[in-house]
Amino acid sequence: MSRPILILGAASDMARAVARSFAAEGHPIQLAARNVSRLAEDASDLRTRFGVEVTVHEFDALATDSHKAFVEALPTLPAVAVCAVGTMGTQSESEADPLAAAQVMRANFEGPASILAHLANAMEARGAGTLVGISSVAGDRGRASNYVYGSAKAGFTAFLSGLRNRLANKGVHVVTVLPGFVNTAMLDGIDTPAPLTAEPEEVGAAIVKAVKRNTNVIYTRPIWRLVMAVIRNIPEPVFKKTSI
């Protein structure tokens, strides 16, 4: 039997789709999230639909002092770990309350970076593995509408880049995922352009493909690469006048 795939933050719509994509390939699945009882239905569905072994694990991304023990307690060090942890928060709340902003930053950078650091060390010692971090195009340039969330994702993207560079000759690969808009609960009430909005299943399929090919950075829909190249290159005096 092949080594399992670990899904961190497994209770989100996107994480569920990623788990289904790997299970469809016949991989055992480890689901990890807070309040692990929430994962029972997903685990049962994966077993029934794909006939794979599924285990569930209590995991709190913000309890960083528990992350080393979490990795050591896994029944098997996974072949691939996918970090889908994150929360968008509300920009207006983050602006008004620095503590709320800090929570957004911790959930999107500190927690994900901490758990991947521990998994990286374990995979490096083994000499094999793949780490997948789901970051965001919001980290490509700070924008007035979501710069707290975007700054945390920018930090996470830089962390993944550095980790990939560090582990390049250690048998461990790191994939950075920049999904763009994804039709999940996170976008409830937000109107997004259809050509730029992917379904969660597209993200899952793209990640499986990227892991197989050892791709470094993926945008779920390729058009996002062009969109963000344009946004990154808008001169600052012009950018300040926009409401992108």
**What amino acid positions are annotated as catalytic residues?**
149
Burial class (CB in 10 A: 0-12, 13-18, 19+), 24: middle
Dihedral over Cα of 139, 143, 149, 155: its sign: positive
Closest CA to 49 of 9, 16, 85, 13: 16
Closest CA to 155 of 214, 95, 124, 114: 114
Q: Is 88 helix (H, G, I), strand (E, B) or coil?
A: coil
Q: How many CB atoms lie within 10 A of CB 173?
A: 21
Burial class (CB in 10 A: 0-12, 13-18, 19+), 199: middle
